[in-house]
Structure 1
């Protein structure tokens, strides 16, 4: 039996924190935020950190083909920040990346809570983790709202037709962006579980007053 963690609520909070961290990180690293199939024209896929043809989407972290990169038409995973074709996407990358980092810190704190004895220290760690999770959700939500402004960039309009702010033109929303949205929406509930994770301290039985 773990000394802290509030029993089942604490374990569920830790598992949910780790799962949502994985989901948000996978969405952040995905090359498929904006995609266009290749039925009638060349397929393309935009992520926060790269742009690849569909052939490179299958493996997470797979770089774009060498001929694409040599032509200056694509960049591989964690390439130069300056290669991101829109300042809005650069802002979104910083915010979403920072939010994932905060979620990682809060997940570590959540795991630590499981091994802390019930008391003031446990409650403080839970409170700190809850605040960090609220900050992460706010930061990533803003990053997701900023991202569609980059659809009006020249690089996107070149490949998605008459694209504009919050309009993808010939392209469509990819699974990476949807996964990030779902991850952030579910992360909203993490601070609520953190609130009920600390074990309640049993108050001493009051001594009856003899009248």
Structure 2
């Protein structure tokens, strides 16, 4: 039987891996749409690939985040951010599998080691993904982004705005900070048998 803290830890880790995946593949990290600027077509930049305003690709971009090659990412900062965020997501996914494995291990040293390893991996994932999110806004000063988002610069989106994909990634990293703390208390308590009192 697994502990309540361990079960909650594994569930939260699985939810955050899903949020990380959705945020990572989202085509809406930077958006510029007709609701903001009626004179312009809808446009969005995801972490991986831009979704330009080509009429035939708009539906596919909205669904898949735009398919392309790594070198097509319009900024070196965005390429760095993509590598960091994908690495952090991969570490988070592996630690989630370790957390689920720890649920079914018997209480003891092995379970504690698995929980400790998963906690360290989750800590590393948080730092790596947070670094990727902090590097991402440096790409707003690239020529490609300035072409679509006027007056954009580092940490300023100009006449575009931050999209739900970037916000989801930020919230996911903020919640992931708590995972290592749960990892510390996830192992089941080893209950030693009650000693039989000696009869005088």
Partners of 1:59 and 1:35 lie apart in 2 by 12
- The 5 A counterparts of 1:43-192 are 43-53=42-52, 55-56=58-59, 59-61=62-64, 76-77=66-67, 79-192=68-181
**Alpha-carbon deviations, 1:159-197, whole Å to 9, x = none?**
000100000001000000000000000000001111111
Q: Give the total of aligned pairs.
A: 191
Q: Which residue is equivalent to 2:33? A: 37
1:21 aligns with 2:17: yes
Q: Give, in angstroms, the shift of residue 48 of structure 1.
A: 1.3
Q: Give, in angstroms, the shift of residue 116 of structure 1.
A: 0.2
Question: Normalising to structure 2: TM-score of the pair?
Answer: 0.89
Question: Normalising to structure 1: TM-score of the pair?
Answer: 0.85
Partners of 2:62 and 2:162 lie apart in 1 by 19
| Structure 2 segments unaligned to the other structure (5+ residues) | none
Q: Which residue is equivalent to 2:184? A: 195
Q: Secondary structure at the match of 1:123?
A: helix
Task: Give the conservation status (yes or no) of the 8 Å contact 2:31–2:45.
Answer: yes
| Structure 1 segments unaligned to the other structure (5+ residues) | 63-75
Q: Give, in angstroms, the shift of residue 42 of structure 1.
A: 2.2
Partners of 1:31 and 1:59 lie apart in 2 by 6
Q: Secondary structure at the match of 2:104?
A: coil
Q: Secondary structure at the match of 1:12?
A: helix
Aligned to 1:9, which of 5, 23, 48?
5
**Alpha-carbon deviations, 1:95-141, whole Å to 9, x = none?**
00000000110010011011100000000000000000000000000
Q: Which runs of 4+ in 1 moved over 4 A?
A: 203-208
